[in-house]
Amino acid sequence: MIRYEYKVLPAPSRGQRGKGVKGSDGRFANALETLINQMGSDGWEYQRAETLPSEERVGIASKTTVFRNVLVFRRSIETDVEAFEPNLLDAPNEEPEFDSEDTETDDPPSDPEQPSDPDAPVQNEDPDDYRA
C-alpha cells in the first residue's frame, strides 16, 4: 500500500514578473507556476487548490471569517515493506566438503558374519534347503 505525506501552502496573493509575462493575470499565473514547479522539483506532486474558511480575531472580543486559498501537494512515503529488498543466497556447492579429521560415516557398522557382497553365497546355510 502506498502511503503519502501532504503539504499545504498558501496560494500566491500577488503576481510575479517574468520574461514575456504581460498583464496582471499573466503575472499571477507566473507566480503560481513558479511555486508549483519549485515544489515539483522537491518531489511534491500538485493535487488541488482549495478555498477554506479561517476564523480570525477582530479587536478584543469579536471574530470574523476570512477565506484563504491554499495549494495541496503530496509525495509518497517509502515504508519499511517497500524498502525491504531480500538478498538471494548463493547456490550450494555440488560436492560437500569434509574435514580430514571427520572419519565417521553414516553407514551402519558391518556385521563380520555377513558378507559385504549381497550376491556372495552364505556359508552357514544348509544345502538341503534348496532341493526340491
pLDDT tens-digit series, residues 67-95: 999 999 999 987 766 567 778 888 877 77
Cα distances from 28 to residues 15, 36, 38, 53, 79, in angstroms, run 4, 12, 16, 22, 38
What pLDDT sits at residue 131?
58
What pLDDT sits at residue 7?
95
Confidence of residue 44 (pLDDT cuts 50, 70, 90): very high
Asked whether the predicted pLDDT for residue 120 surpasses 60, the reply is yes
Q: Where are the alpha helices (DSSP H) in 2-108?
A: 23-41, 80-83
Cα–Cα dist 50/53, whole Å: 10
pLDDT per residue as tens digits for the range 1-15: 788 999 999 999 888
pTM of the model: 0.55
